[in-house]
Amino acid sequence: MRTYIFRIAGGLLLSLLLALLPGILCAANIARPAEIPPEAMALHGKLAPKVAPSVRMWIDEQAKRLSQGQMDDGSLHTVILNRFTRQPIKTGDVEAIKFLTYIQAIKYMDNDISDTNGKLRSFEEQKRELRTKISRQEADSKVAKLKPMPDDLKGKLDGMNEMSEMTALRLQMTMDRRSKFIETLSNIMKKIGTTMESITQNIK
């Protein structure tokens, strides 16, 4: 009984999302991610040189996971503490590493958004071509007074619509998460502002 209820709830949620997708698709095609605040990039320029190359590589790995939704802010905080258990690390150091990780994660998300926008444009072009073929076929059938021949063009168009809608939904979710990351950057910057001078040089 409980499983049945969950299936109904899941179906209703999916139906709601699909109903909203046309608007999401339209918004995704015109929306552009906001630039990383200049003050954040300036702080990045100050903090990055303080980090050893090996730590930069480690930060890059965590940024990939963060950008893909494989960890949240709490998980990131924990892995940072675990990574530096053998050396004294101050609160400012932890926040600095988190900051650098979020900056890199946003850059990965920007690449993903760019790629996804490219896919959406490709989908739209393919759908236009399919609609043109369908219209031409229907017109030819009317002129010849023939019953339209069965084909898979409409099926392909339906499939393409579904693919583009789901891709647009993923894009919108990515952009929403990116906006939250920008907000997190602002909060981290406030914490770092009071401890900037005490951040350890060359975190290893």
Between CA 148 and CA 198 the distance in angstroms is: 76
pLDDT greater than 60 at residue 41: yes
Q: How is residue 91 written in tokens?
A: 């609160």
More confident position, 166 or 195: 166
- Compute the average pLDDT of residues 121-128: 90
Helices (H), 31-90: 38-47, 53-67, 73-83
Average confidence score pLDDT of the chain: 81
Look at residue 25 in the predicted model and tell me its pLDDT: 46
- Per-residue pLDDT tens digits for 91-116: 888 999 999 999 999 999 999 999 99
pLDDT greater than 90 at residue 57: yes
pLDDT greater than 80 at residue 21: no
Nearest alpha carbon to residue 189 among 55, 86, 39, 16: 39
**How far is the CA of 5 from the CAs of 2, 9, 13, 18, 123, in angstroms?**
5, 6, 12, 20, 35
pLDDT greater than 90 at residue 149: no
Torsion of Cα atoms, 100 then 103 then 104 then 109, to 10°: 160
Cβ within 8 Å of residue 65, ≥6 positions away = 71
Cα 191 to the chain's mean position, in Å? 26
**How far is the CA of 103 from the CAs of 59, 79, 130, 182, in angstroms?**
10, 17, 41, 9
Question: 3-state DSSP call for residue 203?
Answer: strand
pLDDT greater than 60 at residue 18: no
Nearest alpha carbon to residue 113 among 173, 60, 24, 186: 173
pLDDT greater than 90 at residue 181: yes
Q: How confident is the model at residue 198 (pLDDT cuts 50, 70, 90)?
A: low
Answer whether 4's CB lies under 8 Å from 148's CB. no
Between CA 19 and CA 4 the distance in angstroms is: 23
Q: How confident is the model at residue 17 (pLDDT cuts 50, 70, 90)?
A: very low
- The mean-pLDDT minimum among 30-34, 82-86, 100-104, 184-188 falls in 30-34
Q: How confident is the model at residue 156 (pLDDT cuts 50, 70, 90)?
A: confident
Q: How is residue 112 written in tokens?
A: 């993903």
H or E element in which residue 17 lies: helix 2-30
Please, what is the angle between helix 91-143 and helix 53-67, to 10°? 40
Q: How is residue 176 written in tokens?
A: 């929403």
